[in-house]
Amino acid sequence: MKYSIVTFASHSALQILHGAKQEGFHTIALTIQGTEQPYKSFKVADEIITIKSYADFFAIEPELTNKKGILIPHASLIAYLGIDAIKRIKMAYFGDRTILSVEADRDAQMAWLSEAGLHVPKTFNTPETMDRPCIIKFHGADGGRGYFLAKNQQEFYEKIGTNPLKKYVIQEYVVGVPIYIHYFYSPLTDEIELMGFDRRYESNVDGIGRIAFKDQMGFAFETSYTVAGNTPLVLRESLLPAVFQMGAATVKASRIRANQGLYGPFCLETMVTPDLNFCVFEISARIVAGTNVYVSHNPYSYLRYNEPMSTGRRIAREIKTAIEQNQLEKILG
């Protein structure tokens, strides 16, 4: 019996399932009632299993195990099922689950990146110590939702009012250009691969430039960072050595924090400053939605593979290779 690649129908599922089909797997999309249409229309799933809510996953888990299912995580799984539930999953799961708790805790994340020797934004423990404009972020990835800017302590207290109960972090606001770096680390070959770059399209920060400054002055809006989509990007080539070095250092530093360490796809979210330094403000320890821009064509993975290689397909390729080499345990966590 063939192995099945299983994923929740959201986030990067179209790409994951499409890539798995390209590599010859049986594919299963888990849809929440009412979200089936894209997965039917794009014909990426051999099977669609509909459940009422994410929590119903455990009722169908035995069936998925019988189908030799391997579950591929993405941000929607983490956000809607939750890390504690993910730790209870018994079916085959691609990736190291212990890394998720590190990723979810912004302080642990920053410590990890600093230990890797990466340049990170300055963090202020209290609003009283703020000495520059800051971005205030809440814990847990939610696509930038609810973040706000504060130029000083007074503005912080004025704005925090509506969200005082959530845990937050006060981070230096870095002025540069946002560049999201997509990596894939293979524990089978011990190689860091560069899969590509994207930039996010965020509302309303990416729309504010459409309004003349004189008109902005009359508007009472707050800058916000809610992700609406992603666009492709290529990087100035002389920056690539630094990109590879940062990826390798991140993987190495992950090993003291998680069982097997970080492997598979991950992303460093950076601001590139005018002196061409990368300031890393976040890490995603799994596939990011920005890779969706490269289902058919990606300059970097094309250079490496000489065939279209989306991150979804790369995951499936890794699983296929592990099965062929009898090393599946190396990539299941």
Q: Which residues in this chain contact ligand ADP in the complex, by CB under 6 A?
A: 121, 135, 137, 141-144, 147, 171-174, 178, 200, 202, 225, 269, 271, 281-282
User: Which residue's Cβ has the minimum distance to ligand ADP?
Assistant: 144
Q: Please state the closest distance from residue 298 (CB atom) to ligand ADP, in A.
A: 21
Least distance (Å) from ligand ADP to the CB of residue 231? 12
Smaller CB distance to ligand ADP: residue 58 or 173?
A: 173
Give the separation between CA 167 and CA 108, rounded to whole angstroms.
14
Token pair for 181: 């770096």
Contact (CB, 8 A) for 286 and 302: no
> What distance in Å separates the CA atoms of residue 280 and residue 240, rounded to the nearest whole number?
15
CB nearer to ligand ADP: pick between 93 and 225: 225
Distances (CA, A) of 326 to 319, 329, 331: 10, 8, 11
Q: Identify how many contiguous H helices and E strands the chain contains and give both numbers.
A: 12, 14
User: Quick one: 199 or 330, whose CB is closer to ligand ADP?
Assistant: 199
Contact 198, 291 (CB under 8 A): yes
Cβ of residue 7: shortest distance to ligand ADP, in angstroms? 20
Cα 109 from Cα 102, distance rounded (Å): 6
Q: Is the dihedral of CA 305, 307, 311, 313 positive or negative?
A: negative
The least CB distance from residue 323 to ligand ADP, in Å, is 32
Question: Do you know the residue count of the chain?
Answer: 333
Nearest CB to ligand ADP, comparing residues 11 and 137: 137
Torsion of CA 297, 321, 43, 70, to 10 degrees: -130
Q: How far is the CB of 279 from ligand ADP (least distance, A)?
A: 7
Min CB(288)–ligand ADP separation in Å: 9
Q: Which is nearer to ligand ADP, 121 or 333 (CB)?
A: 121
Exposed, middle or buried: residue 226 (CB in 10 Å: 0-12, 13-18, 19+)?
middle
* 139 secondary structure, DSSP code: S
Cβ distance to ligand ADP smaller for residue 223 or 327 = 223
Measured CA to CA in angstroms, residue 188 lies from 19, 94, 142, 264, 279 at distances of: 19, 14, 32, 10, 30
Nearer to ligand ADP, 98 or 273 (CB): 273
Report DSSP state, residue 288: -
Shortest Cβ distance from residue 317 to ligand ADP (Å)? Answer: 26
Instruction: Report the residue number, 175 or 303, with the smaller CB distance to ligand ADP.
Output: 175
Q: CB of residue 172 vs ligand ADP: minimum separation in angstroms?
A: 6
